[in-house]
Amino acid sequence: MVPHHQRIYNMAAPINMWWILIWACITVAFAKQKPVTVSLNAKWSSTPLLLEASEYIAGESNDKFWEFVDGVSALTPEQVQSDTEQSNYHLIQKYAAKVLSPLHVRLMKFSLSLRSFSPAIENFQQMSKEEPAPEECDMFVSINGEKTCDVSKVDDVIKTAADKTKTPVYKFDHVYPGTANKDVVAALYGELGKPGFSELHEKLKSLSKQKKVTYVLRHFVKSPSEKKTRLSGYGVELAIKSTEYKAKDDTKIEGDGTNVDEEDQLDDEVQGFDFAKLKELHPDQKEDLRKLRNHLISSSSELAALKVWELQDLSYQAAQKVLNADPEEQIKVLQDYSQNFPSRTRSLVKVHVKNDMKNEINQNKKVFESALSLGAGESAMLLNGIPVEMEVYDVYTLLDLMKSEARLMEGLFSLGFKGAELEKFMRLDLGGDSKEFALDIRHTAIQFLNDLENDQKYKNWPKNIQDLLRPTFPGMLRHVAKNIFHLVFFVDPTSKTDIELIKMAEAFLVHSAPIRLSVVFVVNFDQDADPKEDASVAISRAFDYIRQEHTFPKALSFVTDIYEKAKGEEITAKMVMKELKKKYSDTDVTEVFGKDNDEYDVLRIAAKDYIERSGLADFPQVLLNGIPLKKNYLTEDTFEEGVVSQIMAQTPDIQRAVYQGNLHDYMNVLEYLMEKEHVLPRLNSRVLSPSTQTLYFSSSIDDSLTLDSLYQKTSGQITAITARDMKYLRRKDEESLTPVTVWVVCDVETPKGRELLYSAIRQLKHSHEMRLGVVFNHDSVLTSDLAVTKAVYVALQSLDNNHAKSLITKLIKEENVEALKSGDKKIEDLEVHGMDMKSYMAALEKETTDFLNHHGMFVRNVLGWGEGDRGLVANGKVCGPLDEDEKFTTEDVDLLTKVEYQNVARSIKTQMLLMGIDGSRGSELIMKISSLLSSKTSTTERKELNELKDQHSAIKLPADPDTPAYQIEVVLDPVSQEAQKIAPMIKVLREVVNVDVKIYMNCRDKLSEMPVKNYYRYVLEPDLTFRPDGSLTSGPVARFTDLPQKSILTMGVNPPESWLVESVKAPHDLDNLLLEEVESGVNAEFALEYILIEGHCSDVTTGQPPRGLQFTLGTNASKPSVDTIVMANLGYFQLKANPGVWFLTLREGRSRDIYDIAGHEMTDTPQESDDVVVSINSFKSKIIRVKVEKKKDKMSEQLLKDEDDDKSIWDSISSSFKPKEETEEKVLNIFSLASGLMYERLMRIMMLSVLKHTESKVKFWFLKNYLSPSFKDFIPKMAKEYGFEYELVQYKWPRWLNQQKEKQRVMWGYKILFLDVLFPLDVKKFIFVDADQVVRTDLQELNDLDLEGAPYGYTPFCSSRKEMDGFRFWKSGYWASHLAGREYHISALYVVDLKKFRRIAAGDRLRGQYQGLSQDPNSLSNLDQDLPNNMIHQVAIKSLPQDWLWCETWCSDESKKTAKTIDLCNNPLTKEPKLKAALRILPEWKEYDYEVKVLWDKVYNTNTRLQVEYEPPNIDETKIGSTLHSHDEL
């Protein structure tokens, strides 16, 4: 029986529908919706999804990649290339699931939807073009450059390959695992799953296993798809444009051919009608419902101005509207209201704001401020506590972060932790308040150069240690005459890098830094080294001699003087001896440098002893109070910063000791510091340097699995089985919670192996924090009966803890091993009191050597070590393999456990005890969790937001507790640009993975203007979509509906930071969209033109950026295709590229003549290569660092110099005899920019007016960033017609420079901020002409004008039109006092002397000033004008004669007669539209306009000249377009 309420509803439904149909009939006449759609494609072909999936898997591990390749290549090509793209997609998921966890499969699907790895495939595709495929081959093998696709010929090619140049192997290459022949590289260029792949793959696998080749797989698609790769992960905005001044071209677009897909958009609510529900109830009435919806929208989407009092609470009202919705709908409502805010304001005004919500938001604001430093209305996003900067992060970077977090989450989840417990471990503060370990520096090797307490030079400093408590400015060191900070340098006096540190030591001494200094020379410590031959020993002897006979400072000064004398050449012993004799003539050289005389060898002998004892290695090392400075501080640029920051870090502890009365004036501070707990007698550098390898223990394994039962084992499975079967030694018998698990990897058949194990057992005997396991790594080359190995193994397996520990200690003592081998003793003779010897011997008899195979498999396959290698693993962190003669003492084991305990294990142990987990299970969990947490890729501090209230003002969407979940916490203002991007991102992430979401509202009150003035779409899909026939859909688009018809909108694309995007198809004016004039909708297509390579460059000698240095980029080292110039600001440069391998070189000319590249970081240069190689293989930013140095003979040369500076008379004479073609032709360089069809129309007129008035060769430079496709298409035809040259330049606004949000302001920025880097160095001068200007004279005159030493010349604003005085803001207030009588200049026309501009670093100064001023949104209201006028005192402006720029708004009618250019300035009084003003002011304007339109019509076969706003002028149309001979050329 139907329930009562259901029956009533069903009866009502037809009645409701009847009314709806009446509405629908009424609205048939109403205009249909006009959607705006935007799509963005890459410029390369769509890449196969199977290959993209393989790249995702490669990102997880190389082993998994090859497992996936093996799995797929075992299928037949027919099985792989299944019927439809959808079934192919399912196949990919099936095989990926065999190597990836469920969470990673979901992330992989998301990455395929984003086409994240398409650039990686295209990168390989471009590499194949450098090694073209043999014509008959669909795939091929290149063996050191020799190519074949015939499997049977591979062996023959290998025979001759070793003599050829080795194919370079890159970091991103897929190299088949295992040791292989490094000299023969076989690169397979092929497509996985295609015919022929499997045979070549199997052949190369087999050759790799035989160690004949290094097998590298590179993707190569023989027949690329005709479709382009459709992209997502970007935003599109439609901003409401101010209509104060009309800037719209009314010329109709012919044949726009816009075809917008009418998708099923009946899934939202409009004016109270729930169309999703209506569609469900009445599926047959879909068309009528759509008409009704369109009518409702058109009647509601027009924008109405709000009163000021209505604006005040809009932010709170939007928050309330969102929170009033059903929890599952809240994100959708947030997205709708933030992205369509201008159309939704009317409905928000009526929303009542609850006090509970408002009060809670205001309480939370205090936490936002303290925990996240956020003000009201600001936004933040945290993923598992890690801050995600929305300005910097794009979805590709976010996906990377999610992938790295997935390993951690899944690892913890597989160990049995869920929800809050899992989250606690994720957010553990590792290390907490841990102290850095220090080395005891009390030793005769460490002799101090100065004594702050007794030396004369410090006698005027305060001597009381209480002076340390005096306040001082941040970053300043306190000058107290006490030996508090002791800086010890361990350096090689002959190493180039160390020499810089020795110079720094001398600088600290000379400048009286409040630091006690010591220099220990790390030289050749061989007793037989001859000081007369070995330069390092000679320096040590000379230093020791001067120290003893004179003073320490003189000894150091002598060493630095030698460097000055050497001038970069290699220092020799003879040079040292000669210099010593010269400086100290009474020296007996034979005595000082005598091989057998050790009177002046004291320091060298002491240094050898100290270095051996202390365990220091990896020189240079610098210690401050015994604490080693980090390696990145040991460079000339960063050393001072490193020392000061370490002093600042140590000062509070010393101040505390003084304040609490523990440190007094009479005490020796060094003695006090060296008695501290964290000071050790030995600091092994290997232990302290970060581990390069961490084991992964969290692979799930069946308890029945053994290493023998697994046919194909992953490294994770081998590790998990090894950990499960490991037996441990502890200090005591009972199984307490031991936070550090140490595995000793060694061969106990060798003395070195036994020594390592013995050191670990000795440490175990007095350590509560450690348990010890043994991995037997037997060297099969050594003949041995394995008696010791088996005896130790069986003791571990069968004896209780104390007996096993005692017996093993005896078994590995050298005298016992010798006695056992010689037969003097038997194992029974080593019996430990209380053990059951009989059972032990029985077990020993039975034991096979299988365990050695298992352990060997772990050592080879997981650690990647060779047989017999020694080392340790502490909680999964690998320390080793140790070098052949490297000692690892008990103190080192102690340090290893202390470091591990302090850095990670202590926090985990505390958490374990809180959870009540103890004993061996707890120890096992600590080992596994510690290993997981140590492999965390994000070092960013994780934020806690525990104090926030979330009852009334937060969206809470809980995750599924049964699978690992990401924690996403967001703070946002619902009516902000950040909300427009974050809301859709979270909506999609919830569909992709398991997410626990909390969104806290951070509203602004007392708004005085509309907080958001645009419509926005963020293009992102959770998965690929398919049509009913199984084919892929065309891909994601930004789709706007419900837009106002009567407002002018301007479109902008907001791509990730590293993308350069251009419009490629846009029939409408995207700068001035007025939908009421559009017939069916607007469809715009954009393309990803380039991916940016960014970099920072510095000169190693000065540490400064080499301003004006030029780099080039090309697909091989000899063919550059793009170039760039280095700025002084941060040494920044940028280059445009696309996927592929690129070579960065210094540009031919002065850059290459003066400089060499000295080093580089974050590049993809293969080993053994001198090239600087950068690979574009992802959508993410590529940021590199390059160091350059001047050539020895060019040290005094400057990059940016006047060419006339050093011209001799002969140069002048010879240039006059050169043939005419060799002398440079005068070129008039004109720069301009425009956005929107109206301004492009005006710009073409400006160009024509320039050309008509000059005889000079003209080259136009246009900013490409905002030009329409039609302008870019027409300009080559116009250039051909009028005989000018042109170039489109572009520059991506650097991420470190404060960004402008509004398009107009961004364009103003481009007019002034990047002039030094937009143009090549050979452009000496250019003139900027505004697009809306008409020129009436030869601009060559302006080009030749003497700027009198100024870098640029501007025209001052006219002051002759008196009725505009009220608008001349520069005549009073700030500007009047700042200009101090100088003129305020207009930026519509200016001339720039680029040589001078660059030489005085004008661009860098302008950017520096801009960065400071632009932080205030109210400053620089006319950016392009205000900035140069503001900088007039630092960067001089030459005031051009007034007649160079006439503008009716500011200049009198009388002055128009002499005007050389006329600008169509906006008039704030009349607000007259541009076209109307042009026709009234400029009689010649219509002739220029008509002439261009005639040419346009002839090129495109259109009739735009019939639409002109004026009477067509009488011009000869036959002469126009005469260069356009054939339609084909067009």
SS3 172: coil
Q: Which pLDDT score, from 0 to 100, does residue 253 have?
A: 53
pLDDT computed for residue 177 by the predictor:
86
For residue 272, how many other CB atoms are within 10 A of its CB? 7
Predicted pLDDT of residue 1141 = 93
Helix (H, G, I), strand (E, B) or coil at 655: helix
Average pLDDT score over residue span 1336-1365: 92
CA-based Rg of the chain, rounded to a whole angstrom? 38
Span between the terminal Cα atoms of the chain, in Å: 75
pLDDT of residue 1144: 93
- Residue 586: the pLDDT is 84
Query: Do residues 984 and 390 make contact, with C-beta atoms less than 8 angstroms apart?
Result: no
DSSP character string of 2-34: --HHHHHHHHHHHHHHHHHHHHHHHGGGSPPP-
What is the pLDDT, as a whole number, of residue 597? Answer: 82
pLDDT digit string, tens, across residues 1043-1086: 998 899 999 999 998 999 999 998 888 999 999 888 888 999 99
Per-residue model confidence as pLDDT tens digits over 1072-1126: 999 988 888 899 999 999 999 999 999 887 778 898 899 999 887 667 778 888 9
pLDDT at 5: 40
Summarize pLDDT for 488-508 with one digit per residue, the tens: 999 999 888 888 898 899 889
Q: What is the pLDDT of residues 1026-1039, one digit of tens each?
A: 999 999 999 999 99
The pLDDT-based confidence of 30 (bands split at 50, 70, 90) is very low
Going by pLDDT thresholds of 50, 70 and 90, the confidence category of residue 822 is: confident
Evaluate if residue 57 carries a pLDDT over 90. Answer: yes
Say which range, 299-313, 434-448, 778-792, 1363-1377, has the weakest mean pLDDT: 299-313
Q: Span 1265-1293, mean pLDDT?
A: 93
As a whole number of angstroms, the distance between CA 575 and CA 591 comes to 17
Question: pLDDT tens digits, residue range 196-232?
Answer: 999 999 999 999 988 889 999 999 999 999 999 999 9
380: three-class secondary structure by DSSP: strand
Which 8-state DSSP code applies to residue 1318? H
Does pLDDT of 527 surpass 50? Answer: yes
pLDDT of residue 131: 85
On the question of pLDDT at 894 being above 50, the answer is: yes
Q: Give the mean model confidence (pLDDT) for residues 353-367.
A: 94
Q: Which residues of 582-598 are buried (b: 16+ CB within 10 A; e: fewer)?
A: ebbeebebeebbbeeee
What Å distances lie between residue 409 and 404, 723, 986, 1338, 1494, CA to CA? 9, 20, 19, 70, 67
What one-letter code names the amino acid at 1233? L
Tell me the per-residue pLDDT of 554-578, one tens digit each, with 9 for 90 and over.
998 898 888 888 777 788 888 889 8
95: its two tokens: 């095989």
Neighbour-count burial of 893, counting CB atoms closer than 10 A to its CB (0-12 exposed, 13-18 middle, 19+ buried): buried
How many Cβ atoms are within 10 Å of 60's Cβ, its own excluded? 19
> Which residues are paired to 1385 by β-bridges?
1356
Q: How confident is the prediction for the chain on average, in pLDDT?
A: 87
Q: Is 224 helix (H, G, I), strand (E, B) or coil?
A: coil
Lowest mean pLDDT, pick from 591-595, 778-782, 855-859, 1521-1525? 1521-1525
Confidence of residue 1527 (pLDDT cuts 50, 70, 90): very low
Q: How many helices (H) and strands (E) does the chain have?
A: 51, 48
Look at residue 1222 and tell me whether its pLDDT is greater than 50: no
Taking the C-alpha atoms of residue 518 and residue 450, their distance in angstroms, rounded to an integer, is 8
Res 635: pLDDT: 84
φ and ψ of 186, to 5 deg:
-105, 110
Residues 162, 144: Cα–Cα separation, whole Å: 8
Encode pLDDT of 89-125 as tens digits: 999 999 999 999 999 999 999 999 999 999 999 999 9
**pLDDT level of residue 936 (50, 70, 90 thresholds):** low
- Over the stretch 323-344, which tens digit does the pLDDT of each residue have? 999 998 999 999 999 999 999 9
259 has pLDDT over 80:
no
User: By C-alpha distance, which of 1121, 1107, 1216 is closest to 1154?
Assistant: 1107
Please report which confidence band the pLDDT of residue 708 belongs to, taking 50, 70 and 90 as the band edges: low
Confidence of residue 9 (pLDDT cuts 50, 70, 90): very low
- Distance, in Å, from the CA atom of 757 to the CA atom of 813, rounded to the nearest integer, reads 10
Give the per-residue pLDDT at 1277: 94
Residue 1026 CA to residue 1031 CA, distance in Å, equals: 5
CA angle in degrees (0–180, nearest 5) for 1475-1479-1481:
110
E strand residue ranges, 1020-1065: 1038-1040, 1048-1054, 1059-1065
Any alpha helices (H) in 118-243, and if so which ranges?
A: 118-130, 154-161, 197-209
